[in-house]
Amino acid sequence: MVPMFPLIVIPIVVLGDKKGGAVGYFFLKIWAILLGIFYFVIYKFHNRESIDRSKAHIYVANHNSFFDSVTLMLGIPGQFRPLGKIEITKAPIFGYIYSKIVVTVDRKSVTNRQKSILQLIQKLKNGISVLIFPEGSMNKSDNNINTFHDGAFMIAVESQTPIIPVVLINSRYVMPDLPYLLVRPGIINTYFADAIPTEGLTKADVPALKEKVYNIMNEMIEKYKK
């Protein structure tokens, strides 16, 4: 990350969010490739060809490992903006880069959460896709996925943006959670479901939409984890 720092941050600062982000994300993808080579991690992406790259989407993914973000950085076409925890901005170097490429949220602040939602909607209006982990935090349980929060689905309805469910398989093995933080050689398979349209949906449809996406992702994990 250190040698990549100026290549990622300077374009965003100089050229602005969208144009600079395109350059910054190019180098972030190179960073993800290099990490895979260094740690002997192989990325495999499935059904990515079904994604309409001419429009923005809300990518909704399961979250089992810190390596999920690295994998999705390479897997999601073009640039996008993840929703991430504000605490990570405190990390040296990476924290500053993180603040430039992520829409941060302070989960303890209702006002900050609302501000983050408005920022994500604006990104979508500007043609930039969004990535959200709807479980809210890393899944440390034995469940395929934990209960979803409403945020991603409220944003999808308010912005009338299609949702693409994404599941990552084997990332927890490759990089387990604390206290280990080890990275082990392995294969991370990422499966993209077909886009789910949201045109015409209202806030009243959010629970049904959330349940639909949950069921799709749960079935995908159950199918592919073996």
pLDDT (tens digit, 9 = 90+) per residue, 149-175?
999 999 999 999 999 999 999 999 999
Q: Average of pLDDT values for 114-118?
A: 83
Residue 79 domain-assigned (yes or no)? yes
Residue 92 domain-assigned (yes or no)? yes
Identify the domain containing residue 201 by its residue range: 42-224
Most confident of 7-16, 113-122, 147-156: 147-156
Of residues 2 and 205, which shows the higher confidence score? 205
Position 208 pLDDT exceeds 80: yes
Query: Quick one: pLDDT at residue 86?
Result: 78
Residue 68 domain-assigned (yes or no)? yes
Percent of the chain with pLDDT over 90: 60
Query: Quick one: pLDDT at residue 179?
Result: 61
Residue 157 domain-assigned (yes or no)? yes
Query: Quick one: pLDDT at residue 72?
Result: 96
CA 210 to chain centre: 17
Residue 98 corresponds to which tokens in the numbers above? 């993180």
Residue 132 corresponds to which tokens in the numbers above? 């959200």
Residue 28 domain-assigned (yes or no)? no
What DSSP character marks residue 116?
H
Question: How many C-beta atoms surround the C-beta of residue 47 within 10 A?
Answer: 13
Q: Kindly indicate the confidence band of residue 193, based on its pLDDT and cuts at 50, 70 and 90.
A: very high
Give the CATH number, domain containing residue 136: 3.40.1130.10
Position 25 pLDDT exceeds 70: yes
Lowest mean pLDDT among 70-84, 95-109, 117-131: 95-109
The answer to whether 167 and 190 have CB atoms below 8 angstroms apart is yes
Residue 2 domain-assigned (yes or no)? no
Torsion of CA 56, 60, 66, 72, to 10 degrees: -40
Residue 36 domain-assigned (yes or no)? no
Lowest mean pLDDT among 55-69, 80-94, 116-130, 167-181: 80-94
Render the burial of 51-84: b for 16+ CB within 10 Å, e for the rest. Answer: beeeebbbbbbbbbbbbbbbbbbbbbeebbbbbb
Task: Name which of 145, 165, 169 is nearest 42 in CA terms.
Answer: 169
Q: Average of pLDDT values for 75-80?
A: 92
Question: How many C-beta atoms surround the C-beta of residue 126 within 10 A?
Answer: 12
Query: Quick one: pLDDT at residue 111?
Result: 76
Residue 143 domain-assigned (yes or no)? yes
Position 113 pLDDT exceeds 80: no
Residue 47 φ/ψ region, left for φ over 0, alpha for ψ in the -120 to 50 degree band, beta for the rest = left
Residue 1 corresponds to which tokens in the numbers above? 């990350």
Residue 134: partners with Cβ closer than 8 Å, 6 or more residues away: 60, 148, 149, 151, 152, 153, 210, 213
Alpha helices in the chain (DSSP H): 5-15, 17-39, 67-75, 94-101, 110-125, 151-159, 171-174, 206-224
Position 115 pLDDT exceeds 70: yes
Query: Quick one: pLDDT at residue 63?
Result: 95
14-21 long-range contacts (CB < 8 A, ≥24 apart) are 17/126, 17/128, 18/79, 18/126, 18/127, 18/128, 21/79, 21/81, 21/101, 21/128
Q: Kindly indicate the confidence band of residue 181, based on its pLDDT and cuts at 50, 70 and 90.
A: low
- Number of domains within the chain: 1
